[in-house]
């Protein structure tokens, strides 16, 4: 009898964990977009600096654009209304 209650408790915990992971997916993707945008656009700015010898302006502009794009995506995802919601 004890096994049945342990199994059902484990199943309940597993379902709760699965629901938490599923609900955290969009926010995790937005945070990856924030980091990726900063790294990608900062890298492009650095490459422009090396190519055109305009140091540090390409890097600065790339980092600022990366931060703006990343935070836009983060805010858009955070304040997005859920499907079927108000």
Share of the chain above pLDDT 70, in %: 85
Alpha-carbon gap, residue 42 to 63, rounded angstroms: 5
- 1 — pLDDT class (breaks 50, 70, 90): very low
Average pLDDT score over residue span 39-60 = 95
Q: Is-cis flag, bond preceding 56, omega within 30? A: yes
Q: Does the pTM of the predicted model rise above 0.85? A: no
Alpha-carbon gap, residue 81 to 76, rounded angstroms: 10
Question: Which 8-state DSSP code applies to residue 84?
Answer: T
In the chain, where the domains are located: 25-80
Neighbours of 45 (CB within 10 A): 23
- 81 — pLDDT class (breaks 50, 70, 90): low
Q: Give the pLDDT confidence of 21-45 residue by residue, as tens digits.
A: 888 888 888 889 999 999 999 999 9
All residues at 6 or more sequence positions from 77 whose CB lies less than 8 Å from its CB, including other chains = 26, 27, 29, 30
């Amino acid at each position: 009898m004890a096994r049945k209650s342990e199994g059902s408790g484990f199943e309940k915990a597993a379902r709760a964990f699965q629901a938490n992971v599923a609900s955290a997916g969009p926010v995790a993707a937005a945070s990856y977009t924030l980091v990726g945008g900063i790294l990608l656009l900062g890298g492009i700015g650095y490459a422009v600096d090396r190519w055109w010898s305009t140091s540090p302006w390409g890097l600065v502009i790339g980092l600022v654009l990366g931060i703006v794009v990343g935070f836009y995506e983060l805010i858009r995802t955070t304040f997005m209304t859920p499907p079927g919601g108000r």
